[in-house]
Amino acid sequence: MSAVEQKELNIDSISEGKLSWIYIEKPSGDEVEFLEQHFNFHPLNLDDVLSRVQRPKIDEYEDHLFIVLHFPVFDKENRITRPSEVDIFIGENYVVTVHCSANLKPLAKFFRECQIHEKSRQTYLGRTSSFLLYHILDRLVNYCFPILGKITESIDDIEDVIFTKAVPETVRQISLIRRDLISFRRVIRPQIPVLETLEREDYPFFKEEQEIYFGDIADHIRKIWDGLEDCKEVVDGLADTSNWLTSHRIQEIMRVLTIIMAILAPPTLLSGIFGMNIPLPGGIESGNLLPLGILLSVMALVGAGMFIYLRRRKWL
């Protein structure tokens, strides 16, 4: 394929010996048509290349595999981890990688490294297609660890300030981390069975020891999943702690308000009684104790009625 054709089709490629790595970023119908003309790929797989909603999977054919994987990309603006899809065709003499996002830095960086440095090209493309695939997946999986590390650091920061900062700010931080954690888990979980399949199954055009190489990647992805599980438990615990602190602070506020009401209740009662327009002992228009007795009796009956009602409703 000429350099002009590569530029027009947004396709890069490098070769070493019999092995070629074809790199496609942000594919369109023209790039898919090129793959259809030069390779014996299934039309449904080519349609999947243009789709951004494919679940991780492996489709096995006689002379190649079609692999769909998702890897996390952190969106700094919205503070959330989003999935970025990578489609891989691998045969005995070629590896084709296609991805729609320009933010998948480890894959682009690895390709440029092999493209610029002859030693890297000879190292990674000088053996077999399965050896190159291993290193591609290894770079992508290892890129997940720094993202996991950022989540862990954020959790540690919340642990330090949960007892000192205001409740709304703490709740907001916990909610953001929980949202990011849920998104990250959705990306990682479907990858595990796919990578375990690469470790377990035997493919005739894979010349490397799959159990060793792809088993290493499967171990890494399981380690990431275990880290996410640990983070989930910690975040759930922090959320419970935040809820308990909120409840405790509300109880403290209610206790203070109850004390204030208890202090103000007797003066309020007295001012209410002597503010009535009836003659009472000690008032401006002094009278006998009968009106006061009737008034206190009515108040006592109302209070007793409310007490009985609350007891029957089992609120007391």
CATH code of the domain covering residue 144: 3.30.460.20
**pLDDT 10s digit of each residue in the chain, 316 long?**
444 455 567 788 898 888 899 998 888 888 888 888 888 888 888 888 887 777 889 988 888 899 999 888 887 777 788 888 899 999 889 999 998 776 788 888 999 999 898 898 888 888 888 889 999 999 999 988 988 888 888 888 887 777 776 667 778 888 888 888 888 999 899 889 988 888 887 887 777 677 788 888 999 999 999 999 998 998 888 888 888 877 878 888 888 888 777 777 766 776 676 666 666 665 556 656 677 777 778 778 877 877 787 778 776 6
Of 222, 247, 272, which residue constitutes the final position of a domain? 247
Same domain, 299 and 163: no
Write out the two tokens for 140.
């992508």
Same domain, 34 and 159: yes
253 assigned to some structural domain: no
271 assigned to some structural domain: no
39 assigned to some structural domain: yes
Write out the two tokens for 5.
């054709």
Task: State the Cα–Cα distance between residues 106 and 54, nearest whole angstrom.
Answer: 21
Of 194, 226, 247, which residue constitutes the final position of a domain? 247
Q: How far is CA 25 from CA 49, 107, 130, 135, in A?
A: 11, 10, 21, 19
Same domain, 207 and 136: yes
Task: State the Cα–Cα distance between residues 195 and 138, nearest whole angstrom.
Answer: 11
Look up tokens 């990306």; give the residue. Answer: 187
Determine the Cα angle at 115 with ends 109 and 118, to 5°. Answer: 120
Of 224, 247, 270, which residue constitutes the final position of a domain? 247
Determine the Cα angle at 4 with ends 108 and 86, to 5°. Answer: 25
267 assigned to some structural domain: no
Question: 90 by DSSP, 3-state: which?
Answer: strand
- The distance of Cα 295 from the centroid of its chain, to the nearest Å, equals 65
Same domain, 50 and 197: yes
Same domain, 241 and 284: no
Same domain, 45 and 183: yes
Same domain, 238 and 313: no
Same domain, 228 and 151: yes
* Residue range of the domain that includes 308: 280-316
Of 249, 222, 254, 62, the C-alpha closest to 141 is 222
Same domain, 18 and 66: yes
Question: 69 by DSSP, 3-state: which?
Answer: strand
Of 310, 287, 291, 288, the C-alpha closest to 299 is 291
Domain tally, the chain: 2
